[in-house]
Amino acid sequence: MPHATGELTSPVAAKGDKAQSPVWERPLGDSELSYFLPSRHEGINDMFVHIGFHAPPALFTPDRVAAVWAVLRTRHPLLGARIDPRSYDDVRFVYSPPKSAAAAIASARDNMEFRVQSKDDLVNTYLNGPRTLSNDRLSYVVVATPHDTPDFPYAAPNNSFAPSLANLTLLPPMPSLQNTVDGPGQEFHFLLAAPHCLGDGMALYRMSDEFFEMLASDKTDAQLKELVHLEWERAVAGAEEATCPIPEPLEARMPEPSSRLASAFEKVDYVRSQDRLIGGHSFPRPKSKLGPRHIVFPTYAFSAEKSKKVIKTCKAHGVSFSHALFALCNLAWARIKRGENVEQPMMMYSALNLRPYLPPSESLSYWFLSIGYFNVVLPSFFPRDLPDAERRIFWHRALQAKRQTSKYVGSPFLLGRSRQMGTERAKRAKTWAKEDDAVFNGLGNAAVQPKAPTVPAVSVTPAGDAKPVPAPAPAPKKPPSVALVGLSLLGDLDRVFHHDRYPSVRLHALTPGSRVRGGGTLLFGYTFAGKLWLNLPWDANGFDRSVIESFWDGLVRGVNELLLE
């Protein structure tokens, strides 16, 4: 796919005439396409972040929230763009700045909502209800409160489209979490959503921080509207220039191979690096389908005191909590398997933020996709016949995870491997998109062509006699390459959120995630509001529930046993 940076598809209005806005478009890059195509029917990969907080209700008037949201949507073109899918190979972002500041505010109002809804209902509705986003709606904000109060009269209960939980037993709530937190102000819940093809989690968190800072500033509503006008003027002026305001795709920012030989070497290196990824463990599936995709999201927050001890213990052993989390998954799974299938290693994967390894973006917006992936492979057995063996091997595995991560990140082939992986992911996404379309269009298995019967190969002699050709020797069986679980390692989010800049708002909880595919799961680990958090969204109808529950319990228990020395 050509990595065009964008083109102007409508004539630019005469200077000073804002009645006709220019229209820009550019094709999605390989990485963007690999996220977009699976999202079309059920919103798979649609990201969100939920933040629980206390604040004065007077801050959350519709006019004030709409003005702040309009500033952010105008400042970041992709949030106000749309997606135009023309074929599996040609999908485009299309962007035109608002026709006026008033139009920007009106558009913001159309893409936000106030609700009376608890945190669990809010997140459950987003994950399991009808899709919130669409090709014409690439960003959305929800402000909810679990209590209908006289100071918050703008919301009506919005649970009508939440899926029924009557036939599903959810995981019990974690004892460390509460629906409310003691503190000044009203309890609120904030949810920001965007499709994954627009960007990554860090863009979500950074924008959430800016949202709270702007909303809780000493600016009056009139001053915020003036800020909308200034952002609109900048957006229109930028869109009328020769440079496309839509940020470039990831692939366009990667340095190209210097020669054909270098390009060929990059492909060979990628294949070899993938061949080294061996994993023979996966969570068991139910023998028969239990029901449609339904994501549950158990969350555990360690106390601030325990969180400090965990970080201190990890540091004393020369690793970060992210490295230790790989080892925790390794240990939790080994305890479940109890020596079964130990000849096969265990593999996990994780996303990698590529922004530090790329040239700075020319765009003023930080909303663009810039992630790759890496894998960690660890032995699947834990000897138990030596004194304190489990503890010592655990820290050794954490160091192994650190070495593997550092080796991958420090490789001179990092960007080349990421480019090749994006190409491969896009190809797979196109293949699966065709299968999805067959299913969702009601074709089911009828769209799958039956395989032709195998006919033995023959050779023909000069006399015309045919004789069978000996079958070639079977190729050696490749070792399995299956990942048990994916890890999203967000690090210390208190470095992203500037709590001191909005003292009237007290953030106390954060839940990240996305609309996980059927039969999918993803483990999040991060620090927020001074606490260490674990979060494991998974499809309750796609796995053996008892195994996932045991794995989750093993993670929490492992922290208490090994990281709280």
Mean pLDDT over 369-393 rounds to: 87
Give residue-wise pLDDT tens across range 92-136: 999 999 999 999 999 999 999 999 999 999 999 999 999 999 999
Q: Sign of torsion, CA 533 539 540 546?
A: negative
Q: Is residue 99 exposed (0-12), middle (13-18) or buried (19+ Cβ within 10 Å)?
A: middle
φ, ψ (nearest 5 deg) of residue 51: -130, 125
**pTM, entire model:** 0.86
Domain range list for the chain: 7-162+170-252, 269-357+366-420+479-562
CA atoms within 13 A on the CB side of 556: 18
How many C-beta atoms lie closer than 10 Å to residue 103's C-beta?
A: 16
**Local confidence band at 340 (pLDDT 50, 70, 90 cut-offs):** confident
For 218, residues 6+ apart whose C-beta sits below 8 A from its C-beta are none
Longest dimension (CA), the chain: 98
Q: Is residue 459 exposed (0-12), middle (13-18) or buried (19+ Cβ within 10 Å)?
A: exposed
Residue with token string 């949030």: 79
Mean pLDDT over 278-299 rounds to: 90
Mean pLDDT over 197-222 rounds to: 95
CB 514 within 8 A of CB 45: yes
pLDDT of residue 8: 59
pLDDT of residue 458: 36
CATH superfamily of 269-357+366-420+479-562: Nonribosomal peptide synthetase, condensation domain (3.30.559.30)
CATH superfamily of 7-162+170-252: Chloramphenicol acetyltransferase-like domain (3.30.559.10)
How many C-beta atoms lie closer than 10 Å to residue 220's C-beta?
A: 10
Q: Is residue 473 exposed (0-12), middle (13-18) or buried (19+ Cβ within 10 Å)?
A: exposed
pLDDT of residue 7: 66
pLDDT of residue 10: 53
Give residue-wise pLDDT tens across range 46-97: 999 999 999 998 888 999 999 999 999 999 999 999 999 999 999 999 999 9
**Local confidence band at 152 (pLDDT 50, 70, 90 cut-offs):** low
| Domain 7-162+170-252 and domain 269-357+366-420+479-562 have a common topology | yes
Q: Considering only CA atoms, which of 65, 112, 103 is closest in space to residue 221?
A: 65
